[in-house]
């Protein structure tokens, strides 16, 4: 074949291909225009820079949608770019995949979880939590998942980008798929064009979202970032009526006095829910309500709830509370007895609790002895000193010995000067014990905190075992 003939054939093929491409582009442009005008959008054609193909811009209200070609010759498509949406300026959303995985997990860009498991598996979301949660309500998540099932969708660089393959889908050809994708993209964008009142959107999601974790995430965010906002207070009040017990409990805790009655209902349950509810109650609860809780099937009460009740009695205080706490010092469970000792300290129980606290120093459990020693240090009298030193001598745990010595120092600091025969802290050895002006009582270093007595007699007095008598001068 002659070279000129070959060149003519090549030119004809190239020209034919270009004609087909221009013809296809005109068809695509016509479909773009039809999809936009059918939705009442104003349409204009814009030329692309650097001799690129023109694209169509459609406008409705504050929203603008760019239609542009994408893909390859073998797999052409249309990309819809929805702009001028406030929410899209604040969040990034990419379909889960290798590139997104690398960006999130290897480059440390993080990712926000909405609490909707299906949505969180489909997308990786970045942005400040407040606009993310405010934007992604249940209906928006559903629409984005629908777009994802039909092709590629992402929110990047302040715009929603939706790809529509010209091959269409098994059920819809391109000329039908394009309008439906455009409508779905607009439905996603319209509610998010203005995020001015984020608090109201969060409150609405906390109240109405069908997903429990989504409701909780929105409520928690409101309480953390907008604690004093009226929308937050309204959301907390609504959450006290939520169908999920965990949300109702957290809402009751956040409600202060308004949540007491609900917390008392939770306190009558079992397990960690009851313990958390009791721990959240304040001293405005009548002591009778706590005593009633303790009286109801005590064998079914778990230790955590009993400990929480001890703490609540300590916060409430008063004779009835102190009496019940003193009784709890003999509880077989060390944690409960220790909680009672700590609560007696909180309640400033006074002398009536001292004998029982002193008796608790003989308990085998370290937790109980430590709590009792600390309580005695805060409110014990001089009568508690020798039991404390004796207990420090009997038990070998360094931590308990340290607490006992500190308790003795606290008691002595409340004594207004030490007279002969009283216990005092030696000036030359901080933390050591000595008798003032007569006899020597000290904690010997060589004996690791043991008490050594010189020229002393002890005559225990009734009701205060281990009380030191006045020193008898040596003959």
Write down the pLDDT at residue 11. Answer: 47
pLDDT attached to residue 168: 72
pTM score, whole prediction: 0.75
Alpha helices in 190-302 (DSSP H): 198-208, 212-225, 230-239, 245-254, 260-267, 271-280, 287-295
For residue 17, the tally of other CB atoms under 10 A from its CB is: 11
Average pLDDT of the chain, as a whole number: 82
112-152 pLDDT per residue, tens: 999 999 999 999 999 999 999 999 999 999 999 999 988 89
Q: For the ranges 52-66, 151-165, 347-361, 380-394, which has the lowest average pLDDT?
A: 52-66
DSSP string, 409-468: HHHHHTSSS--TTSEEE-TTSTT-EEESSSSEEEEETTTTSEEEEES----PBTTBTTPP
Return the percentage of the chain with pLDDT > 70, whole number.
77
pLDDT at site 54: 76
Contact 341/318 with Cβ under 8 angstroms?
A: no
So what's the pLDDT on residue 136? 94
pLDDT band, very low/low/confident/very high, at 242 (cuts 50, 70, 90): very high
Query: Is 379 exposed, middle or buried, given 0-12, 13-18 or 19+ CB atoms closer than 10 A?
Result: buried
Can you spell out the DSSP letters for 15-60?
A: HHHHHHHHHHHHHHHHHHHHHHHTTT-EEEEEPPSTTPPPEEEEEE
pLDDT of residue 297: 60
What are the tens digits of pLDDT across the range 186-239?
999 988 888 889 999 999 999 999 999 999 999 999 999 999 999 999 999 999
How many C-beta neighbours within 10 Å does residue 259 have? 24
More confident residue, 42 or 173: 42
pLDDT exceeds 50 at position 269: yes
What's the pLDDT band for 459 if we cut at 50, 70, 90?
Answer: very low
End-to-end Cα distance, the chain: 142
Structure-model confidence comparison of residues 96 and 267, the more confident one? 267
**Res 432: pLDDT:** 43
Local confidence band at 77 (pLDDT 50, 70, 90 cut-offs): confident
* Diameter over CA atoms, the chain: 143
Closest among 309, 304, 305, 317 to 346, alpha carbons compared: 317
Q: How much is the pLDDT for 350?
A: 82
Q: Check residues 229 and 415 and name the one with the higher pLDDT.
A: 229
pLDDT digits (tens, 9 = 90+) for 303-316: 999 999 999 999 99
Higher-pLDDT residue of 257, 8: 257
Question: 444 pLDDT exceeds 50?
Answer: no
> Which two tokens mark 343?
């609560």
Q: How far apart are CA 364 and CA 389, in angstroms?
A: 16
Per-residue model confidence (pLDDT) at position 301:
72
CA–CA dist 424, 432 (Å, integer): 8
CA 124 to chain centre: 21
Average pLDDT of the segment spanning 426-450: 41
* pLDDT for residue 420 is more than 50: no
Residue of 428 and 306 predicted with greater confidence: 306
**pLDDT the model gives residue 298:** 62
User: How far is 82 from 128, CA to CA, in rounded Å?
Assistant: 21
Comparing CA positions, the residue from 133, 125, 135 lying closest to residue 193 is 135
Question: What integer pLDDT is reported at residue 300 of this predicted model?
Answer: 62
Contacts 24+ apart (CB under 8 A), 322-329: 322/347, 322/349, 322/350, 322/352, 322/353, 324/291, 324/294, 325/349, 325/353, 326/352, 326/353, 326/356, 329/356, 329/357, 329/359, 329/360, 329/372
In this structure, of 27-31, 111-115, 375-379, 435-439, the range with the lowest mean pLDDT score is 435-439
Asked if residues 365 and 381 have their Cβ atoms less than 8 Å apart, the reply is no
Residues 89-122: pLDDT tens digits? 899 999 987 444 554 444 444 589 999 999 999 9
Average pLDDT over residues 155-171: 86
pLDDT band at 27 (very low <50, low <70, confident <90, very high): confident
Backbone angles phi, psi at 458, to 5 degrees: -120, 130
Highest mean pLDDT pick, 150-154, 404-408, 445-449: 404-408
Across 163-188, average pLDDT: 86
Q: Which of 122-131, 344-353, 436-445 has the lowest mean pLDDT?
A: 436-445
Q: What integer is the mean pLDDT of 50-61?
A: 80
């Amino acid at each position: 074949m002659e070279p000129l003939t070959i060149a003519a054939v090549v030119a004809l093929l190239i020209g034919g291909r270009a004609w087909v491409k221009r013809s296809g582009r005109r068809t695509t442009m016509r479909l773009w225009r039809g999809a936009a005008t059918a939705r009442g959008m104003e349409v204009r054609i814009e030329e692309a820079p650097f001799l690129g193909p023109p694209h169509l811009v459609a406008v409705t209200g504050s929203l603008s949608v760019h239609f542009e070609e994408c893909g390859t010759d073998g797999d052409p498509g249309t990309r819809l770019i929805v702009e001028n949406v406030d929410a899209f300026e604040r969040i990034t959303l990419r379909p889960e995949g290798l590139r997104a995985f690398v960006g999130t997990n290897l480059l440390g860009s993080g990712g926000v979880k909405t609490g909707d498991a299906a949505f969180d598996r489909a997308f990786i979301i970045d942005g400040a939590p407040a606009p993310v949660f405010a934007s992604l309500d249940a209906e928006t998540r559903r629409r984005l998942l629908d777009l994802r099932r039909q092709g590629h969708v992402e929110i990047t660089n302040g715009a929603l980008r939706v790809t529509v393959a010209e091959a269409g889908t098994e059920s819809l050809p391109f000329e039908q798929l394009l309008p439906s994708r455009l409508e779905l993209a607009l439905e996603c964008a319209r509610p998010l064009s203005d995020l001015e009142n984020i608090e109201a959107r969060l409150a609405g999601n906390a109240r109405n979202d069908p997903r429990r974790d989504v409701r909780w995430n929105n409520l928690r965010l409101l309480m953390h970032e907008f604690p004093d906002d009226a929308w937050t207070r309204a959301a907390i009040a609504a959450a006290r009526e939520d169908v999920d017990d965990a949300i109702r409990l957290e809402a009751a805790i956040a409600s202060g006095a308004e949540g007491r009655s609900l917390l008392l209902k939770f306190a009558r349950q079992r397990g960690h829910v009851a313990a958390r509810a009791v721990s959240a109650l304040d001293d405005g609860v009548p002591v009778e309500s706590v005593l009633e809780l303790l009286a109801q099937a005590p064998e079914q009460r778990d230790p955590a709830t009993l400990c929480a009740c001890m703490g609540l009695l300590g916060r409430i205080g008063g004779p009835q509370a102190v009496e019940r706490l003193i009784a709890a010092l003999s509880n077989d469970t060390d944690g409960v007895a220790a909680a009672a000792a700590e609560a007696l300290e909180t309640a400033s129980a006074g002398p009536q609790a001292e004998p029982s606290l002193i008796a608790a120093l003989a308990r085998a459990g370290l937790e109980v002895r430590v709590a009792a020693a600390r309580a005695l240090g805060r409110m014990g009298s001089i009568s508690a000193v020798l039991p404390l030193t004796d207990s420090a001598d009997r038990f070998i745990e360094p931590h308990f010995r340290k607490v006992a010595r500190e308790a003795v120092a606290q008691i002595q600091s409340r004594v207004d000067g030490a007279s002969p025969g009283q216990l005092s802290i030696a000036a030359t050895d901080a933390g050591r014990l000595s008798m003032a002006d007569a006899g020597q009582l000290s904690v010997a270093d060589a004996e690791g905190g043991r008490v050594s007595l010189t020229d002393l007699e002890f005559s225990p007095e009734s009701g205060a075992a281990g009380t030191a008598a006045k020193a008898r001068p040596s003959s």
